[in-house]
A = this chain, B = another copy of it.
Amino acid sequence: MSAARPALDAAALGSQMHELATELFPITRSVAGPGFRDSLDILEGVTGPMERHRFETGTRAFDWTVPQEWVIREAWIKDPAGDTVVSLADSNLHVVSHSEPVHRRMALDELQSHLWSLPEQPDAIPYRTSYYNRSWGFCLTERRRRRLEPGEYEVYIDSDLTDGHVEMGEITIPGSTTEEILLSTYLCHPSMANNELSGPVVVAYMAKLLAERERQPRFTYRLLFAPETIGAVCYLSRFGDRLLERLAAGYVVTCVGDPGDFTYKLSRRGDSLADRAAKHVLGFSDEGHQVIDFYLPRSDERQYGSPGFNLPVGSFLRSTASDFAEYHTSLDDLTFVTAGALGDSLAMLHRIVEALEAAETLEAVLPYCEPQLSPRGLYPTTGALRQVEQSRADMMFLLNYCDGGTDLLAAADRWQRPIWDLRPVADLLMDHDLLRPVQ
């Protein structure tokens, strides 16, 4: 990563984010229920109070119906000898999320149809949900499952499925314009760290950085902490029109806690401001980064980018689901996610945000022939020769290129210079009334 102008103490922030993830980790979250609300409460310790949006059970949101809330108190299987096979107390992945209550005895054969394990990863407990079908089930390691002996088992799930709400928290940072940037992250998995605690903790700290920003940002920022899929669908059902009118760029932030290279998943448009900013920043910051197709399966960007909305929302991540074997298992824990990776991810997201802020559309105040730089004291005279020449070349480039037709990000791409190096040159020229923003 090259030296970025918008510096922040990534190491210190990384440690704080890892601590926050550690606090959130044990909570049994699902798309609706007390675990989700408790998690939002904890995140508010960093972000300050969130605006809470609630969607009642049974409400239609496009093709979807808001599910019931799920409360889980206890869940276990006992073997024929009365020994506990698995228990919610050991891992909240052991019970299929939104399992209905059950208390029965049954033969192993019948039990097997309610058990889920991963033959290829014999030590991992898989993660499984049943939001939209009433059923119940247990997840366990393949190794443990293989040791189950024939006989009568007792299964017990003490849960409630009750009408309530799908809920989400939103932070708004007002900008000097009504154009909006959306950072959307999801928070509904139980004890898994990269997918998905890394996203919420990074976005929470991004909220903090934006709130503490020295100057008011140009854009109005919306930072959304929602359950996956149903959250984005509900949010769009209520606020989609506003996004269609105002959204300049957005990112779904997820899987940003592992030490892999960065990945950017393009928005459906492929050349939106969101895409240009992310590609620019990653291109100048992480040689190993990858840019992937919008149409690959992933997450909430599919809702924002559904054809009726076609919003300029990409996805910012490190390793994708197909890149890491720990995905959707108990192996995705707090050792897989590192403080260093969280810190770097926040720094990179911050850089993308600052690139968006920097990407104004400017025009030359004196567009006919070159202006004279020396009478304005703009000829750099100190510094190494190469720096002086670069600085002069940057000035001359901007004075010619900026004709009000493209923004500074396009200029930086054209000139193959990072926008964090070019923006200060533009600022200097603006101070001398040689460039001005296009209104």
Interface residues of A (CB under 8 A from B): 61-64, 132-133, 229, 232-233, 236-237, 240, 268, 295-297, 302-303, 305-310, 363-364, 366-372, 374-375, 392-393, 396-397, 400-403, 414-415
Complex CA gap A308/B236 in Å reads 44
B403 touching A368 by the CB < 8 A rule? no
Instruction: List 5 A-B pairs, Cβ < 8 Å.
Output: A63-B372, A133-B374, A237-B369, A297-B392, A307-B367
Q: How many copies does the complex hold?
A: 3
- Rounded to whole Å, the gap between the CB of A276 and the closest CB of chain B is 19
Q: Are B369 and A307 in contact (CB under 8 A)?
A: no
Closest CB in chain B relative to A174 CB, distance in Å? 27
* Contact A295–B397 (Cβ < 8 Å): yes
CB <8 Å contact, B369 and A236? yes
Question: CB < 8 Å: which of B240, B307, B308, B402 contacts A307?
Answer: B402
> Which residues of chain B have C-beta atoms less than 8 A from A392's C-beta?
297
Contact B369 A61 (CB under 8 A): yes
| Residues on B with beta carbons closer than 8 Å to the beta carbon of A400 | 268, 295, 302, 305-307
- A307 and B364: CB pair below 8 A? yes
Q: A132-B375, A268-B400 are contacts. A309–B368 as well, Cβ < 8 Å?
A: yes
Residues of B within 8 A of A308 (CB): 364, 367-369
Given contacts A268-B400, A400-B268, is CB(A369)–CB(B303) below 8 Å? Answer: yes
Query: Which of A62, A132, A307, A401 has most B Cβ within 10 Å?
Result: A307
Among A297, A363, A369, the one with the most B-chain Cβ atoms within 10 Å of its Cβ is: A369
Q: In the complex, which residues of chain B have a beta carbon less than 8 angstroms from the beta carbon of A62?
A: 366, 368-369, 371
A391 CB, min distance to chain B CBs, angstroms: 12
Contact of A232 among B296, B303, B366, B369 (CB under 8 A): B369
Within the complex, the shortest CB–CB distance from A394 to chain B, in Å, comes to 10
Contacts of A371 in B (CB 8 A): 62-63
- Nearest CB in chain B to that of A411: its residue: B295
Residues of B within 8 A of A236 (CB): 368-369
> In the bound complex, how far is the Cα of B370 from the Cα of A364, in angstroms?
45
Q: Are A396's CB and B366's CB within 8 A? A: no
- For the complex, give the distance between the alpha carbons of A371 and B368 in Å: 51
Q: A133-B374, A268-B400, A400-B268 are in contact. Are A369 and B295 (CB under 8 A)?
A: no
| Nearest residue, chain B, Cβ from A61 | B369
Other A-B pairs, 12, CB within 8 Å; known A62-B368, A63-B371: A63-B366, A64-B372, A132-B375, A229-B370, A232-B369, A233-B369, A236-B369, A297-B396, A302-B370, A303-B369, A306-B364, A306-B370
Kindly report which residue of chain B lies nearest to residue A295, judged by CB atoms. B397
A61 contacts across to B, CB distance below 8 A? 369
Contacts of A366 in B (CB 8 A): 62-63
- In the bound assembly, the distance between CA atoms of A407 and B197 in angstroms comes to 40
Q: Which residues of B contact A369 (CB under 8 A)?
A: 61-64, 232-233, 236-237, 303, 306, 308-309
Contact A306 B368 (CB under 8 A): yes
A63 to B396, CA, bound (A): 14
Nearest-Cβ distance from residue A423 to partner chain B, whole angstroms: 18
Measured CB to CB, the nearest residue on chain B to A303 is B369
Q: Which residues of B lie under 8 Å from residue A307 when comparing CB positions?
A: 363-364, 367, 400-403
Cα A374 to Cα B367 in complex, Å, equals 58
Closest to A365 in B: B63
CB contact between A393 and one of B133, B232, B297 (< 8 Å): that residue? B297
| Contact in complex: B233, A132 (CB < 8 Å) | no
- Among A296, A297, A370, which residue has the most Cβ atoms of chain B within 10 A? A370
Nearest-neighbor residue (CB-CB) of A396 within chain B: B297
Q: List chain B residues, Cβ under 8 A from A229.
A: 370
Contacts of A233 in B (CB 8 A): 369-370
In the complex, the 7 A-B pairs of residues with the closest C-beta atoms, listed nearest first: A308-B367, A307-B403, A308-B368, A63-B371, A62-B369, A307-B367, A233-B369
User: In angstroms, how far is the closest chain B Cβ from the Cβ of A285?
Assistant: 23
Scoring A367, A374, A414 by chain B CB atoms within 10 A of each residue's CB, the highest score goes to: A367
Closest to A415 in B: B295
Q: Are A372's CB and B132's CB within 8 A?
A: yes
Q: Can you name the residue of chain B whose Cβ is closest to the Cβ of A304?
A: B369
Q: How far is the CA of A375 from the CA of B370 in the complex (A)?
A: 60
